[in-house]
Amino acid sequence: MHKNIKFVLVNTTHPGNIGGVARAMKNMSLSELTLVRPKFFPHAEATARAAGADDLLSNAKVVDSLKEAISDSQLVIGTSVRERTIPLILLDAKAAAVKIVNEAKTGHKVSIVFGTENSGLSNSELQLCHYHLCIPTNSEFSSLNLAAAVLIVAYEIKAEALGNENFIFDNPALDLATNAEVELFYDHLKKVLQEINFLKQENPEQLMQRLRKIFSRIRLEKVELNILRGILTAIEKTHDKTNLS
Amino acid sequence: MHKNIKFVLVNTTHPGNIGGVARAMKNMSLSELTLVRPKFFPHAEATARAAGADDLLSNAKVVDSLKEAISDSQLVIGTSVRERTIPLILLDAKAAAVKIVNEAKTGHKVSIVFGTENSGLSNSELQLCHYHLCIPTNSEFSSLNLAAAVLIVAYEIKAEALGNENFIFDNPALDLATNAEVELFYDHLKKVLQEINFLKQENPEQLMQRLRKIFSRIRLEKVELNILRGILTAIEKTHDKTNLS
């Protein structure tokens, strides 16, 4: 699936940015990089910024025109942070990722195109695209670095691909206390609070309800419940000493 | 709303990364930056990488400890790309952004904490957090640059805030305790547990960590915290009687 998703950089000026793009792509499990007339490539700065993603650089295709770069693609998405005069259908990064992952899974080739650093994609370049991806930014400070723009798009693709695989973080399987065990804790707590004269007030049930509300939010593990019961027992021992005196 | 969301960088080694973080935050309309013991700051490299976001740098707070940085916060989220041994509830960046924007809209202060470049947050730093934010990455190439990690989180917050602009949250606005208030509770709890001889065991710190883990899951309201402090005071009174006898 990931092999069907290609990032295309047009007329990149700073080789360091190409390296930053490679790193961002690899961080998000993407590998296909095509460069349209890069100003400097290969370049030591690109390799340095790639920080271990240099396999993407050595496998990158370098071509002469955007048309050539996207010739194998069934879906072409142009990116920018600016509103454009070409009225392509506008997608935010999340909506674009849904479309990209969907298409790539059906076996279509997808190209995601990024323009030159200063001016982005030209109107004639945008006309080669099916959709226009716009990354939401601060309207007063919208100049995203090229690698940053790639990172956000790649991240959304990663998140969407994971989501489609029913990816769930493996929260550790907790050995939670049963409701009966928690009720025994409440009984114990109430008994101790009466013994230390905390529950002699006007409305003890109201206070117990508040305490239940606190602890019910925790969903205690068995081992945690045992610690709390241990504390209650320690309080009782202190109290017993008082009573003996 | 955005003023309630603070990014906290702990022990940042490379000043350029602080600048990159400032730029990423400003790109996404976020402004509140706190630095815990940065190795070099202010620094020309930070200003250079900020690329116009130097207002965030000059307004950044520099503090001596993570505890101090988050003392005003009701919600604290720790970030990393690694699975950790401390089983905090794990959120992906999107789920975390939903929670962050929700809370910030109700007026709560939120801290999002990023560890040092090489090793991330330590276990004791993570223990100060309510949730653990994990950015999905390539498991074989997961080393996100610090500014890249900040960018993704800030982008998700921006996207969520835009999506929710015309949305009314009907969650009751809870008057949650600040981190500093919760820390005072832990101090009080530890003192009382020592007095009743519950904390004389081999490894008192480990037990305190378990108790912190229990209570950090609750996110206590101020009024609830007062009830728990009241119980502690009642226990102390019982104990004092014992001592007098």
Pairing of strands B5-10, B110-114: parallel
DSSP string across B67-89:
HHHTTT-SEEEEEESS--SS-PE
Residue A116 has pLDDT above 50, yes or no: yes
% of chain B with per-residue pLDDT over 90: 54
Confidence of residue B21 (pLDDT cuts 50, 70, 90): very high
Q: Is A70 left (phi over 0), alpha (psi -120 to 50) or beta?
A: alpha
pLDDT at B23: 97
pLDDT at B169: 34
Judged by CB atoms closer than 8 Å, whether chains meet at A238 and B196 is answered as yes
Rounded to the nearest angstrom, the minimum Cα separation between A185 and chain B is 15
* Averaged confidence pLDDT in chain A: 86
pLDDT at A12: 97
Q: How far apart are CA B145 and CA A240, in angstroms?
A: 58
Which has the closest alpha carbon to B172: B108, B95, B89? B108
Residue range B149-189, pLDDT digits in tens: 999 999 999 999 987 543 333 344 578 888 889 999 999 99
pLDDT at A128: 83
Helix (H/G/I), strand (E/B), else coil: A118:
coil
Judged by CB atoms closer than 8 Å, whether chains meet at B224 and A214 is answered as yes
* Average pLDDT value for residue range A90-115: 90
Judged by CB atoms closer than 8 Å, whether chains meet at B27 and A237 is answered as no
* Average pLDDT value for residue range A33-58: 96
Of the ranges A101-115, A123-137, B19-33, B202-216, which is most confident?
B19-33
Residues of chain B positioned with their CB less than 8 A from the CB of A135: 155
Interface test with A, best of B214, B216, B220, B228 (most A CBs within 10 A): B214
Q: How far apart are CA B16 and CA A148, in angstroms?
A: 15
pLDDT at A168: 36
Q: Which residue has the higher pLDDT, B128 or A158?
A: A158
Residue B11 has pLDDT above 90, yes or no: yes
* Averaged confidence pLDDT in chain B: 87
Q: How far apart are CA A165 and CA A29, in angstroms?
A: 14
Residues of chain A positioned with their CB less than 8 A from the CB of B210: 223-224, 227
DSSP assignment, residue A178?
P
| Angle subtended by helix axes A222-244 and B204-216, to nearest 10 | 110
Helix (H/G/I), strand (E/B), else coil: A119:
coil
pLDDT at A137: 87
> Residue B90 is nearest to which of A141, A158, A171, comparing CB atoms?
A171
Residues of chain A positioned with their CB less than 8 A from the CB of B241: 242, 245
> Residue A137 is nearest to which of B27, B135, B228, comparing CB atoms?
B27
Rounded to the nearest angstrom, the minimum Cα separation between A40 and chain B is 22
Which has the closest alpha carbon to A5: A105, A149, A93? A105
Amino acid at A214: I
What was the ipTM of the complex prediction? 0.74
Judged by CB atoms closer than 8 Å, whether chains meet at A52 and B152 is answered as no
Is residue B23 within 8 Å of A133, Cβ to Cβ? Answer: no
Of the ranges A19-33, A195-209, B134-148, B226-240, which is most confident?
A19-33
* Average pLDDT value for residue range A157-176: 64
pLDDT at A202: 64
Residue range B195-229, pLDDT digits in tens: 998 887 667 888 888 898 888 777 788 999 999 99
At A32, list the tokens: 């296909």
Contacts of B225 (CB under 8 A, 6+ apart): B177, B181, B182, B185
Which has the closest alpha carbon to A197: A243, A234, A245? A243
pLDDT at A166: 38
Element holding A208 (H helix, E strand)? helix A204-216
Judged by CB atoms closer than 8 Å, whether chains meet at A227 and B210 is answered as yes
pLDDT at B167: 35
Judged by CB atoms closer than 8 Å, whether chains meet at A141 and B26 is answered as yes
pLDDT at A171: 43
Is residue B13 within 8 Å of B39, Cβ to Cβ? Answer: yes
Residue of A nearest to B144 (CA): A27
Judged by CB atoms closer than 8 Å, whether chains meet at B90 and A196 is answered as no
Q: How far apart are CA A82 and CA A137, in angstroms?
A: 9
Judged by CB atoms closer than 8 Å, whether chains meet at A219 and B218 is answered as no
Q: What is the 3-state secondary structure (H, E, C) of A13-25?
A: CCHHHHHHHHHHH
pLDDT at B81: 62
Judged by CB atoms closer than 8 Å, whether chains meet at B227 and A211 is answered as yes
